[in-house]
Amino acid sequence: MKQYVIDQLNPEEQKRIKEHLDKYCEPAGLDGMYWLHIPEEICSELQQKHKECKPHCIGIELRRRDVRFEFLVRSRNKIRCKCISYANKKQTDFIIEFIENMLKENNIKA
């Protein structure tokens, strides 16, 4: 699995990241798990055609000492589909920009 991992978080940084994710992401139903929705305009052509698979998102896992951002763009409605794929360039840029903004807004030096 391709991931972007920020590790060596102290408890205060972990708390600020949790608050940020609580504000900007959808809880995934498991403690520490979140969904970050990919904007429709940067979804691939196939993802845009698969209306029954929307929304498309990536998984985020917040753990005690790290946070992990997946680069697999998933469907929230199906487990398997041809539209599920690794992030394209625009999606990767969106994910990294989200991470960089989160770190900056929460004064976390990573």
Residue type, 60: I
- Among 73, 71, 91, 92, smallest CA distance to 81 is for 73
Model-wide pTM > 0.95:
no
Residues facing residue 19 across a β-bridge:
none
Query: Which H or E run contains 44?
Result: none
| Domain 3-105: CATH architecture, name and number where available | 2-Layer Sandwich (3.30)
Q: What pLDDT was estimated at residue 48?
A: 95
Break the chain into its structural domains and give their ranges: 3-105
pLDDT per residue as tens, the chain (110 positions) = 899 999 999 999 999 999 999 999 999 989 999 999 999 999 999 999 999 999 999 999 999 999 999 999 999 888 899 999 999 999 999 999 999 999 999 999 87
